[in-house]
Homo-oligomer: A and B are copies of this chain.
Amino acid sequence: MPDPDDKEFAKTLAKGLEVLAAFDRETPGMTISEVANRFGFNRAVARRIVRTLEILGYLKQERRVYSLTPRVLRLGYGYLASNKVGNVIHPILKQVTAEIDEPCSMGVLDGNEVVYVAHSPGEQRHFSVGLTVGSRLPLLTTATGRALLSRLPEDHTKSLIQEAPLDRETPKTEMNRERITTLITEARQQGYAYAEDEVEIGLASVAVPVVSAAGVLIGAINVVVNNGRVDESTLRSDYAGSLKRCAVHLAAALG
C-alpha cells in the first residue's frame, strides 16, 4: 500500500472526502471559514474544495452555510446494493422484529468502529433508538462490537482490543481491556455478546455474529432495548436465540 506522503496520494481528494464525512447531527452545516478552521486548510483550499463539492451537487449553500444534499447517498449506495442490504438483509432482519417485536440492526467492522448497514425498526414506543444506516458506535463497549471481535482472526482481535478507542460514556462503561478480552472470550463460547448501560444508561443489547460457511465474518446482528422493559435473562435466552436463527439465514443468503 502506498504511503500517504507519496506523490501518488491525491491530497485534494482526501480533503474533499474528509469534509463530506464531517457533517453530522451536531454539525449539519458549515461555512467556508468553519471548514478552513476545523481541518486546518487555508481559506483558498477550503473554498476550492467546498465549491467543487457544490458544483458536483454534493453540497448546497444557503446564506453562506453549506450542507449535504441527498446526492451523498450515491456514494454509499453501491456498498448497500452490492452487499444485498435491500433485497436480502432487510427482509431477514424484519423476521426477527416480527418474532420479538423489537428493532434489530446489522453492523459491520469499519477500522476500529462498528458501522450499521441495516436497521429494522420495531413498533414505535416512547423510547426509540435513533440508529440508522451509517450510524457508528464504539467497538469495545457495545454488544455488536464484541460479537464481531469474537469471530475475527485471533491476531486481529488482539490488536483491536489494544488499539480501539475506549471512552468512558457512562459510569458503567467497561474500561479495562483485559476484562473486555474475557467478555469477548465468553461471547465466542456463548455465541452471543451482551452489553448493558455502557454506551448509554438504560440501554441493553445482545448481538450475534454472522459468519459464512467458509468461516469468514460477515457482520453481527443485534437487538437494543430499554432495560427497564426487558430483563437480562430474556435478552440472553429468547432474543439471543432469535438472533442466532436469523444469523444462520443471513449466512446462507449472503455467504
* Residues of chain A having any CB pair with chain B under 8 Å: 1-2, 4, 8-10, 12-17, 20-25, 27-28, 47-49, 51-58, 67-82, 85-87, 90-95, 98, 108-111, 115, 117, 119-124, 128, 130-136
Contact between chains at B52 and A21 (CB < 8 Å): no
* Shortest Cβ distance from A81 into B: residue: B25
* Shortest Cβ distance from A79 into B: residue: B68
Contact between chains at A81 and B4 (CB < 8 Å): no
Q: Which of A4, A48, A75, A122 has the most CB of B within 10 A?
A: A75
Q: Check A121/B120 contact, CB under 8 A, given A81-B132, A128-B91.
A: yes
Contact between chains at A94 and B136 (CB < 8 Å): no
Question: Which of B24, B79, B81, B128 interacts with A87 by CB under 8 Å?
Answer: B128
Contact between chains at B16 and A108 (CB < 8 Å): no
CA distance A69 to B83 in the complex (A): 10
Question: Which of B24, B82, B95, B119 interacts with A28 by CB under 8 Å?
Answer: B82
Question: Which of B81, B95, B133 interacts with A80 by CB under 8 Å?
Answer: B133
Q: Which of A75, A128, A132 has the most CB of B within 10 A?
A: A132
A24 → B minimal CB distance (Å): 5
Contact between chains at B117 and A55 (CB < 8 Å): no
